[in-house]
Chains A and B, each alone.
Chain A
Amino acid sequence: EVQLVESGGGLVQPGRSLKLSCAASGFTFSNYYMAWVRQAPKKGLEWVATISTSGSRTYYPDSVKGRFTISRDNAKSSLYLQMNSLKSEDTATYYCARHGWELGFAYWGQGTLVTVSS
């Protein structure tokens, strides 16, 4: 069974940093692209970042480019999101997801809440 378990969320002040983690199991992690998708409170879904199988290629929307960094450790079956210069509009539940061109976002974790507030 595919499992994705996020951690690392919490309350952080504007301008500070936070690093999210996602532990994957139930599939060969190194064979799949992975992604982060966020959902602001009572809002819709927004893709945040994607990383290739080896980690050599990363992709971001303009809204987070230059501030967020996605990375992975295939030996640990783990995905990360380093978030710097956080803004109030980054407040959201962040989901780890297995990302594929064919399937889209096929599997999702339960999410971790990030609140950016002073």
Chain B
Amino acid sequence: DVVMTQTPVSLSVSLGGQVSISCRSSQSLVHNNGNTYLSWYLQKPGQSPQLLIYKVSNRFSGISDRFSGSGSGTDFTLKISRVEPDDLGVYYCGQGTQYPDTFGAGTKLELK
């Protein structure tokens, strides 16, 4: 299985600040068709996860442009700018390139 490693485990940020979360995969996430199926999800406290970013850098419907994804191969980053209170929670990366779909262990974003 593809192992997804997220760093850091937790992150403290001031409102209005910027943060980056790293996600590394144990194998390349480039599919034979040329696409890279790497997604980012946010799970707010007491809620179910929600999709933020798909295929590395595409924002899902209704997601603020304060969220941006980048990377390639095995190394990916989620950046959040101008952090707002509603951004707090646990962020997960996930891959769908190789069976089975797997997720990182999560990065908890907290207020400083």
Contacts and interface: CB of A to CB of B under 8 A. Distances in A.
Interface of A: 37, 44-47, 50, 59-62, 95, 101-111
B22 to A, nearest CB: 16
Interface in B41-88: 41, 47-51, 54-55, 60
17 contacts: A44-B103, A44-B105, A44-B106, A45-B41, A45-B92, A47-B102, A50-B101, A59-B99, A61-B1, A95-B49, A102-B37, A104-B39, A105-B41, A105-B94, A108-B49, A108-B50, A110-B47
Contacts of B92: 44-45
Contacts of A101: 37, 96
B100 interface: yes
| Chain A interface SS verdict (over half) | strand
A26 B45 CA distance: 25
A86 B92 CA distance: 27
Contacts, number: 59
Interface residues of B, number: 24
B104 interface: yes
A100 to B, nearest CB: 9
A104 B54 CA distance: 7
A101 B96 CA distance: 7
A27 to B, nearest CB: 12
B32 to A, nearest CB: 12
A61 B100 contact: yes
B25 to A, nearest CB: 14
A32 B60 CA distance: 17
Contacts of A102: 35, 37, 54-55
A2 B39 CA distance: 20
Contacts of A103: 39, 51, 54, 60
